[in-house]
Amino acid sequence: MRFYFIGAFLLCSLAATFSQQKSSIITSSAYTKSDTISKSKTKSYSLSEVSVSSLRAGDKSPIAYTNIDKETLSKSNFGQDIPYLLSTTPSLVTTSDAGAGVGYTGFRIRGTDASRINVTINGIPYNDADEQGAYWVDLPDFASSVQSIQVQRGVGSSTNGAGAFGANINIQTDNYSEKPAGEFSVTKGSFNTQKFTMKASTGLINKHWAIDTRLSSISSDGYIDRAATDLKSYYVQAGYYVDKTSIKFVTFGGKEKTYQAWYGVDSYVLPNLEYPRTHNPAGYTGDSVAPYYKNQTDNYVQTHYQLLGSHVFSNELSMNLGLHYTRGDGYYEEYNMGSTLSQFALPNLLVGGVLEPTSDLVTQKKMGNDFAGGVFALNYKNSNFNAQLGGAVNQYLGDQFGNVIWAKNDSARLLPITEYYRNKVDKKDANVYIKASCDLSSKLSLSGDLQYRNVQYSLHGPHFAWDEGNNGRQILNVEKKFNFFNPKAGLYYRPDLENDLYASFAIANREPTRSNFTSSTLPAPETLHDYEAGYKYHNNLIAIGLNLYFMNYRDQLILTGKLNEIGEGIAVNIPKSYRSGVELMASVKPTTWMKWDGTATLSNNRILDFVETVNVVDEYWAPTGESVSNLYHNTPIAYTPQVLANSLFTFLVEGVELGLQSVYVGSQFLDNTGSKDRMLEAYFVNNLRCSYSLLVPKMCSLNFAILVNNVFDQKYISNAWSYPTIAQDNANPVYNSSSTVNNYFGCYPQAGRNFLAMVTVKF
**Residue 563 confidence class, pLDDT cut points 50, 70, 90:** confident
DSSP letter at 640 equals -
Name the percent of the chain lying above pLDDT 70.
Answer: 92
Q: What per-residue confidence (pLDDT) applies to 23?
A: 34
pLDDT at 34 over 70: no
What is residue 39's predicted lDDT score, i.e. its pLDDT? 35
419-472 per-position pLDDT tens digit? 999 999 999 999 999 999 999 999 999 999 999 999 999 999 999 998 877 889
What value does the mean pLDDT take over residues 231-257?
95
Element (H, E) at 705: strand 700-709
pLDDT tens per residue, range 720-733:
998 888 898 888 88
Number of structural domains found in the chain: 1
Q: Spell out the residues 6+ positions from residue 629 whose beta carbon is closer than 8 angstroms to its own.
A: 611, 612, 613, 614
- Say if residue 124's pLDDT is above 60: yes
Q: How far is CA 521 from CA 132, 419, 464, 615, 657, in A?
A: 19, 25, 16, 17, 55
What does the mean pLDDT of the chain come to? 89
The CATH number of the domain holding residue 247 is 2.40.170.20
Among 278, 78, 258, 70, smallest CA distance to 175 is for 70
pLDDT band at 37 (very low <50, low <70, confident <90, very high): very low
pLDDT grade, residue 330 (50/70/90)? very high
490 or 522: which carries more pLDDT confidence?
Answer: 490
What is the band of 671 on the pLDDT scale with cuts at 50, 70, 90?
very high
Q: How far apart are CA 190 and CA 168, in angstroms?
A: 33
Residues 6+ apart with CB under 8 A from 603: 91, 110, 111, 579, 580, 581, 582, 640, 641, 642, 643, 644
| Average pLDDT of the segment spanning 275-304 | 93
Model confidence at 13: pLDDT above 70: no
The Cα 668–Cα 447 span in angstroms is 36
Distances in whole angstroms, Cα of residue 627 to Cα of each of 303, 570, 630: 45, 18, 10
Range(s) of the domain holding residue 212 = 2-762
Residue 100 pLDDT exceeds 70? yes
The residue among 627 and 501 whose pLDDT is bigger is: 501
CA–CA separation, 560 and 562 (whole Å):
5
Average pLDDT (172-182) is: 92
Q: What is the pTM of this model?
A: 0.91
CB atoms under 10 Å from CB of 480, counted, come to 15
Q: For residue 370, what pLDDT band results from cuts at 50, 70 and 90? A: very high
Angle at 171 between CA 167 and CA 173, to 5 degrees: 175
